[in-house]
């Protein structure tokens, strides 16, 4: 029997992207997301750490009474054969499966083949496929022959904070370009830094580099070489800011203090960082890879090309003044959440009804 309010297992549920698929302010929705199970004790809800995701375990799903399994991300360490078994369980149980393709090339893996092999399991067999940009949808159609529904990326910054931070920057003259390299994730390009320093110097802009303190403690050559560059750049006047992992409110302020943000990636697909920058009004310069242009980057640059980077920064700075801010404001983001909730509700109801009917037909014919 169909439920008035659908019970959805989202992987992960405890991520701002997923949380913001529901209406803002706790408004009514036709579905609810279950809390992530605690990886250390799946009988209780997770209180902070959701990875590795318990909900990708076939045995766990087989014991659940739910309507929809919605896989977003977090399956990097899940073997492809386990994902296939998970889908079999969902089919047997009459659970609809939705997959949102956030990444076609995982930012955590240099070689895309392992991630694609998992998508080779998930995408063809999902009851519905979603993605975030038209460019990603075209690639999904080319590889798997699936028509992916394009849905907007919801805001990440709290709506009240978004309003305050956007209002505070309206009268500012652009002076600062910023890049956050964290602790050098696999797709982060440290070779971008000297090119960025040169480009900012040519345009008369200051450069700010954020970096996690842990990087200086690492012994691999990539980390050591980057640390050496950062120390030398500090002496040349680059504003290098060593910090621990930011709490959300500090991160949003850091992004809002930038006039232009640069994504330091060699590969990838979509970016939550880009979305958060737009939330606080900061335009983004991104590499011409993945789907960052479709996601709304102010300008794109060719990898390993300082001239292209300089031109992209010049274009972005031209869009960073008080005349207008990047991204949607808080009221528009609130309306966007209402639309996203409605779109997901329709998708969930369609796949849940179809999966349930198919399971009932199998039971009758058994």
Domains of the chain plus CATH, in order, are 6-155+333-365 (3.40.50), 159-318 (3.40.50.2000)
C-alpha torsion sign, points 329, 73, 274, 224? positive
Query: Which residues are paired to 301 by β-bridges?
Result: 287
Model confidence pTM above 0.85? yes
Question: Residue 38: CA atoms inside 13 Å, Cβ hemisphere, count?
Answer: 8
Confidence at residue 47, expressed as pLDDT on a 0 to 100 scale: 87
In this predicted structure, the answer to whether residue 134 has a pLDDT above a threshold of 60 is yes
Q: Which residue has tokens 């940009």? A: 133
Say which residues have a Cβ less than 8 Å from residue 284's Cβ, sequence separation at least 6. Answer: 260, 261, 262, 263, 271, 274, 277, 278, 292, 296, 297, 298, 316, 326
322 pLDDT band, cuts 50/70/90, is: low
Q: Residue 68: is its pLDDT beyond 60?
A: yes
User: What is the per-residue DSSP string for 161-176?
Assistant: HHHHHHHHTTTPPP-E
| Mean pLDDT within 149-163 | 97
What would the mean pLDDT of 158-180 be, rounded to a whole number? Answer: 90
Quote the crossing angle between the two packed helices 330-365 and 80-93, to the nearest 10°: 70
Q: How high is the pLDDT of residue 1?
A: 47
Average pLDDT over residues 297-304: 97
């Amino acid at each position: 029997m169909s439920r008035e309010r659908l019970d959805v297992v989202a992987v992960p549920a405890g991520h701002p992207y997923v949380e913001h698929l529901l209406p803002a302010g706790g408004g009514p929705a036709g579905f609810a997301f279950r809390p992530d199970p605690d990886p250390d004790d799946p009988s209780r809800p997770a209180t902070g750490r959701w990875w590795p995701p318990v909900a990708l375990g076939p045995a766990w799903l087989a014991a659940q009474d739910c309507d929809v399994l919605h896989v977003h991300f977090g399956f990097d360490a899940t073997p492809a054969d386990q994902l296939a078994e998970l889908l079999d369980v969902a089919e047997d149980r009459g659970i609809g499966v939705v997959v949102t393709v956030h990444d076609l090339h995982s930012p955590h893996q240099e070689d895309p083949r392992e991630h694609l092999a998992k998508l080779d399991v998930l995408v063809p067999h999902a009851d519905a496929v979603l993605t975030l940009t038209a460019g990603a949808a075209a690639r999904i159609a080319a590889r798997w022959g699936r028509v992916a529904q394009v849905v907007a990326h919801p805001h990440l910054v709290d709506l009240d904070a978004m309003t305050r931070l956007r209002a505070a920057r309206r009268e500012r003259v652009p002076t600062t370009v910023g890049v956050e390299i964290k602790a050098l994730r696999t797709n982060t390009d440290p070779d971008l830094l000297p090119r960025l320093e040169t480009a900012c110097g040519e345009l008369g802009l200051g450069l700010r580099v954020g970096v996690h303190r842990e990087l200086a403690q690492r012994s691999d050559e990539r980390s050591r070489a980057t640390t050496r560059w950062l120390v030398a750049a500090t002496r040349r006047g680059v504003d290098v800011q060593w910090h621990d992992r930011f709490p959300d409110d500090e991160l949003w302020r850091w992004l809002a203090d930038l006039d232009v943000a640069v994504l330091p990636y060699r590969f990838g697909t979509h970016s939550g960082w880009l979305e958060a920058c737009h939330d606080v009004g900061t335009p983004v310069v991104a590499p011409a890879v993945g789907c960052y242009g479709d996601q709304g980057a102010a300008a794109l640059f060719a990898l390993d090309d300082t001239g292209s980077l300089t031109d992209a920064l010049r274009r972005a700075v031209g869009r960073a003044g008080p005349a207008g801010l990047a991204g949607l404001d808080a009221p528009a983001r609130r309306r966007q959440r209402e639309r996203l909730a409605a779109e997901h509700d329709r998708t969930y109801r369609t796949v849940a009804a179809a999966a349930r009917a198919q399971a009932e037909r199998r039971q009758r014919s058994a």
